[in-house]
Chain A
Amino acid sequence: MLSILRREAAAGCSDAVLLRERLRRSCAAATARLRGYATAAKEMTVREALNTALDEEMSADPRVFLMGEEVGEYQGAYKISKGLLQKFGPERVVDTPITEAGFTGIGVGAAYYGLRPVVEFMTFNFAMQAIDHIINSAAKMNYMSAGNISVPIVFRGPNGAAAGVGAQHSQCYAAWYGSCPGLKVLAPYSSEDARGLLKAAIRDPDPVVFLENELIYGERFPVSAEALDSSFCLPIGKAKIEREGKDVTITAFSKMVGLSLEAAEILAKEGISAEVINLLSIRPLDRPTINASVRKTSRLVTVEEGFPQHGVGAEIGMSIIEDSFGYLDAPIERITGADVPMPYAANLERMALPQIEDIVRAAKRVCHRSVPMAATA
């Protein structure tokens, strides 16, 4: 039976020691490994979190199976499915030929007829070759078939920028999938997020797009004892307040949560108390939580990696205007990736992505501390 963990707003972050450790971890380079500090909880990388979640869900329900390129013998392109082929066999962990459109279509067909596939894309950039099946065959099918054909499928894989992989490997698809009725779109940050949300996604009867991030796979986070239980699950559609504050609300998802937390730390030194919200669920968006926070702080900065136009921040901004316009004390600011295909050169790539300084400057601007708009390199 599902035991859904109700997240207290203060959970996990009110302890200063824990917070400092979290920040220290997210500061580290993606590939660096830190020794775990002695805390009450165990630690786990996001990779381990996803692996254990898959393992447990596949053990619990024989209809769940994994398919994708390199998921089997290669142990997963990013080693997320390590050990699963050995444990469950080739019928449950299917290595596919190189055809995203093909294996997504097959996964959808299997879901139509009662299996619960988890389709892995090497990155969501490649999922564009399969997007017809994701949208037209999966997202819309329950509606079009008047409830006769449900599609309990999960599409997962790394999303957004990695490090120096260029334009065709770095796009963030949160806004694209987030606009589509019929889909649920999730974006975990920490290991607990990853575990809880992946389990929820696999158990959900609707199609779920699960956006991971390659650079966080190796990061360690503390996990509570509850999160280690095999029935652990996070509710879909609830955002999490990672850090409480009273002066400005910062919303973010995936890797940007880490940057926002560091920005909050810097802002705290300058006397600005920032509330950082980890969206967790892009669709459905947790409008009540975001609005409640903005009603408390009166200022909002949205942070995302993706392109600015029609982005997640645009949607959040409108949500505030629709529900809490009167509470705003400053215009809403959105920090996004640059409106260019991702360049390759390291210096250019850095300029094309949000940095901690960008978030800090934006927060100061909405708090009416005069800081110019343009970033200096």
Chain B
Amino acid sequence: MAAWFRRTRAVAHYLRRNNGCTPSSSRGILVDCQGMPVPAAVPMPVVQPLESVWIGRATGRISPTRFPIFSAMRFESTRAEKHLESLQEVEDDDDAQVLDFPGGKVTFTSKMQFIPESSEKRVPCYRVLDDYGQPTEYDFSDQVNEELAVKMYTDMVTLQIMDAIFYEAQRQGRISFYLTSMGEEAINIASAAALTDDDVVLPQYREQGVLLWRGFTLQEFANQCFGNKVDYGKGRQMPIHYGSNKHNYFTVSSPIATQIPQAVGAAYSLKMDKKSACVAAYFGDGSTSEGDFHAGLNFAAVMEAPVIFICRNNGWAISTHIREQFRSDGIVVRGQAYGIRSIRVDGNDALAVYSAVREAREMAIKDQMPILIEVLTYRVGHHSTSDDSTKYRPMDEIEHWKMLRNPVNRFRKWVERKMWWDDKREVELRNNIRNQVLQAIQTAEKYEKPPLSDLFRDVYDALPSNLHEQESQLRETIKRHPKDYPLDVPV
């Protein structure tokens, strides 16, 4: 059975608190063959099982909870121990028996009780506006003024229209793929609004609204989808894999949940630089099944990294319903399992999302800790253009969420009630955006494709000799057989 270790300081501290009982040396307490400490001028205690600290029976003076079993020097640096030590400082009942083990103190119980697999009540969901856009408790206009509210609303509408038109463009064969964020406009825009431009965003792939908020233009979106020569991605990736250094938005990477531990790494970098910024990692309900989710959250807690984990629980992972994904009460309950502060938020309530992310950001940066936010919503659209969700879920369920639980309409009602928006502006906005998106698509389509040299660059920092060779061989071949080379790709 392992011995329990305490820091020398803790030993001395506890002993000093105990009516003049001080250790004879600063290092060790004499330990007998059972591993029980032998205090000076006290008879050897009766043989006891190592699990308990029942020295109190042998000596009247020394409280069992205070008396450590063994002390050793631990390396100072383990910050986690400091956290656990504070747990140990809790004043326990003198007579209560405690198990003092490497993870800290726990009290005993003689009742054998299994923690139930689910609690009777599910974790409640934080919301500000009701389904009709009426604030339930607070007004919130001190946090969200007219300017901010109107920008949030117009961006939500822009996102909606952009998604719809790009989706159609794929259907028409003009781009190869698209993925909408329908139903999740509030999550996208409101969370982005609560972050600052210095905060680093690691998206999954359904967060184009966050990039939109930060200033990515419709033209820039279109350029990436068409993979033309002004695409910042140089035509390397399939559509919706946006990335932008200047907007602090990491390039979308297809494998699920890989961004979660990466976000922790980036947060560690911010922490080392002592920046007043955090990392926001977005992912869906399906991602939480990946090993990376477990490793990322666990690590973030251990490293005390300033990262906000935003889980968009939209009910579906392609055709996998959440009941087949996990059996826990959603994602929020997992936070505590990792030692992470968490909250469940109504993802279709823009104000709730905004206020929760703002608060989370404060805590993450000030207290240098990770936060988990589960936003509940519904994936109104198909998973992507490669999916037809009517094959695995009922049409009326989709319609219900699309029409009655629409986050854009709900926020609009609040904004209109505050006299910051009206029908006329609505019509103007929608027409405007629609024209802009169509224009962006037409322009993007007309651009040339990226030049041939972009095929070989960026594999490494510097072009290696073998690729240099290959490129010149290719150019030679093109010169010899020009009619076999496409017209819209510049050489």
Q: Which residues of A contact B (CB under 8 A)?
A: 73, 85, 89-91, 94, 96-97, 99, 101-115, 117, 132-133, 136-137, 141-150, 181-182, 184, 204-206, 237, 284, 287
Q: Are B243 and A145 in contact (CB under 8 A)?
A: yes
Instruction: Find out whether the CB atom of A143 lies under 8 angstroms from the CB atom of B265.
Output: no
Q: Which of B438-478 contact A (CB under 8 A)?
A: 454, 457-461, 464-466
Is there contact, CB below 8 Å, between A146 and B266?
A: no
- Determine if A205 and B266 form an interchain contact, defined as CB atoms under 8 angstroms apart: no
Q: Which residue of chain B is the closest to A184 with respect to CB atoms? A: B460
Bound together, the chains give a CA A105 to CA B77 distance in angstroms of 24
| Chain A residue with the shortest CB-CB distance to B461 | A205
Partner pick for A146 among B232, B260, B263, B272, CB 8 A cutoff? B232
Kindly state the separation between the CA atoms of A112 and B258 in the bound complex, as whole angstroms.
13
Check if A148 sits within 8 Å of B232, measured CB to CB: yes
Q: Which residue of A113, A132, A136, A148 has the most chain B CB atoms within 10 A of its CB atom?
A: A113
A143–B266 contact, CB under 8 A?
A: no
Cα A103 to Cα B294 with chains together (Å): 11
CB nearest neighbor in B for A90 = B77
A108 nearest in chain B by CB position:
B262
A144 touches B292 (CB 8 A): no
How far does the Cβ of B71 sit from chain A's closest Cβ, in whole Å? 18
Number of interface residues of B (CB under 8 A): 52
Known A109-B267, A145-B236, A149-B243; further 13 A-B contacts with Cβ < 8 A: A97-B302, A102-B261, A106-B265, A110-B268, A114-B269, A142-B461, A144-B241, A145-B233, A146-B234, A146-B236, A147-B457, A148-B245, A206-B461
Contact B266 A113 (CB under 8 A): yes
Task: Please report B residues at the A interface, Cβ cutoff 8 Å.
Answer: 75, 77-79, 200, 202, 231-234, 236-237, 241, 243-245, 250-251, 253, 255, 258-270, 272, 291-292, 294-296, 298-299, 302-303, 454, 457-461, 464-466
Contact call B461/A106, Cβ cutoff below 8 A: no
Shortest Cβ distance from residue A319 to the other chain B in the assembled complex, whole angstroms? 10
Q: A145's contact among B251, B264, B294, B295, by CB below 8 Å, is which? A: B251
Residues of B within 8 Å of A99, CB to CB, are 291, 294-295, 298-299
Residue in A closest to B305 when the chains form the complex, CB atoms: A106
CA of A182 to CA of B233 in the docked complex: distance in angstroms? 16
Q: Which residue of B lies closest to A99 (CB)?
A: B295
In the complex where A89-B77, A90-B78, A141-B251 touch, is A106 in contact with B458 (Cβ < 8 A)?
Answer: no
Chain A nearest CB, measured from B291 CB (Å): 5
Does B266 lie within 8 Å of A182, measured CB to CB?
no
| CB-based contact B299/A106 at 8 Å | yes
User: Would you call A97 and B264 a contact (CB within 8 A)?
Assistant: no
With a CB–CB cut-off of 8 A, which chain A residues contact B298? Answer: 97, 99, 102
In contact, B296 and A106 (Cβ under 8 angstroms): yes
In the complex formed, the residue of A with least CB distance to B466 is A284
- A115 in contact with B268 (CB, 8 Å): yes
Contact, CB under 8 Å: A136 / B255:
yes
* Candidates B75, B241, B291; contact of A102 at CB < 8 Å: B291
Flag if A136 contacts B253 (CB, 8 Å).
Answer: yes
Cα distance A137–B255 in the bound complex, in angstroms: 9
Q: Please indicate the chain B residues that have their CB under 8 angstroms from the CB of A114 in the complex.
A: 269
Please give the distance in Å from B84's CB to the nearest CB on chain A. 16
CB pair B202–A144 under 8 Å, yes or no, is no
Closest 8 CB pairs of A and B: A102-B295, A109-B265, A109-B262, A105-B261, A110-B265, A90-B77, A106-B265, A113-B266
